[in-house]
Amino acid sequence: MASGAVSEGYGAIADAFAANFAEFGELGSAVTVYVGGQKVVELWDGIADDSTGRAWARETVVPVFSCAKGLVMLGIQLLVQEGRLDLDVPIGTYWPEFVAGGKEAITTRMLLGHRAGIPVLDKTLSFDEIAAWTPVIAAIEAQEPLWEPGTAYECHGHVFGFVAGEVIRRLTGLLPGAYFRQAVGERLGLRAWIGLPREELPTLARLIEAPGRPPMPPAEHLLTRIVTMNGALAFPGLDEPHGWNDPELLGIELPGAGAVASASGLAGLYAAAAGELLTTERITDLVREVSAGAGFLGFDAGARWGAGVLLDSTFRPMLGARSFGNDGAGGQFAFGDDEYGVGFAFVSNKMIGHGDARANRLVKALKECLG
């Protein structure tokens, strides 16, 4: 039976959470929901580490892959709100070296909508170079776009995080994970990091893959190159060096997909973003569609993108036109909505892959609860 608490009127979420364990063979997971600034659901259950049998606890954190983009997005949006960043001027305004190789017209909004034309780098960097940050930045500066910026979109994976992160660094002097902790994380006490502190390792859940989870395409495929940074990172590589159970990888600044968080940490982030942190005007701009339909690879998963966030769609159903969030390759999902005053997050340590319905079922239950 799950631990935690559920406020009156939100029992359907508890039922859906229990059903996930019964129907999907869940190992360990957690869900948290804020409504109107109040935590109305906080549940956790199962095993955090199958190698030791350690149980999931309130403080358990787990790798959340591209949910990292939510932490970076919030940093970017706060800088816009403070008047320090304009999403629609060239990135070179803030980072002059970026413009080389035909990138003069690329704006931060293009990047946030995955339209910049640089989803992957030509240069293959070592793990140590990736961890050092500046070699990646130099490779980005030298990179030529794969397509005319603004004319198509495709997931920019890790490059998204490094480019947005370098814009943050140019404006604040801090890497994106450090800026998030200073501007938001520490103040709100959020259990969410890009670069997990070593003292948090005892709270880290261990990822597993569900039986039959489809393998990645061949190494030369663009999608695999995007996800692994040309093979420097193992994906998911759960028992390999530089894979997503490796504390060395989880400890570096990998802002496109390297966040580690609890469900309450992510839900608290989005509740704050949809509440006191971002203005109505900023959220209106945030949820304006930037990209949708078939991407550069010709595949249409049904996703819609705003300025660094997924929008309500058949791919990721949320609550409506004011919803904004990000998901992770392990089935994790978090979003906020200022119309409903909601912050939601689901995290799990069992990676199911395409068609994973666990988070969507919880969101459907939430929608029913809200009426």
pLDDT value, residue 145: 98
Q: Write out pLDDT tens, residues 210-249.
A: 998 888 899 999 999 999 999 999 999 999 999 999 999 9
Q: Is the pLDDT of residue 371 over 90?
A: no
Q: Write out pLDDT tens, residues 65-79.
A: 999 999 999 999 999
pLDDT value, residue 214: 86
Task: Give the percent of the chain with pLDDT over 90.
Answer: 96
Question: Domain count of the chain?
Answer: 1
Q: Is the pLDDT of residue 32 over 90?
A: yes
Provide the CATH number for the domain around residue 26. 3.40.710.10
Q: Is residue 259 assigned to a domain?
A: yes
4: pLDDT confidence band, cut at 50, 70 and 90? Answer: very high
Q: Is residue 103 assigned to a domain?
A: no
Q: Is residue 168 assigned to a domain?
A: no
Q: Write out pLDDT tens, residues 176-215.
A: 999 999 999 999 999 999 999 999 999 999 999 999 888 8
Q: Which two tokens stand for residue 296?
A: 């550069």
| Domain region containing 285 | 3-73+179-370
* Cα distance between residue 180 and residue 67, in whole Å: 14
Q: 342-348 and 192-194: which strand pairing?
A: unpaired
Q: Is residue 142 assigned to a domain?
A: no
Q: Is residue 133 assigned to a domain?
A: no
Q: Is residue 306 assigned to a domain?
A: yes
Q: Is residue 119 assigned to a domain?
A: no
Task: Give the percent of the chain with pLDDT over 70.
Answer: 100
Closest CA to 318 of 341, 337, 292, 293: 337
Q: Is residue 155 assigned to a domain?
A: no
Question: Taking the CB of residue 364, how many other CB atoms lie within 10 A of it?
Answer: 15
Closest CA to 112 of 144, 77, 63, 64: 77
pLDDT value, residue 35: 98
Burial of residue 264 (CB within 10 Å: 0-12, 13-18, 19+) is: buried
> Please, where are the H alpha helices in the chain?
11-24, 68-81, 108-112, 127-132, 134-142, 157-172, 176-180, 186-188, 222-228, 247-250, 263-272, 280-286, 358-370
Q: Write out pLDDT tens, residues 93-123.
A: 999 999 999 999 999 999 999 999 999 999 9
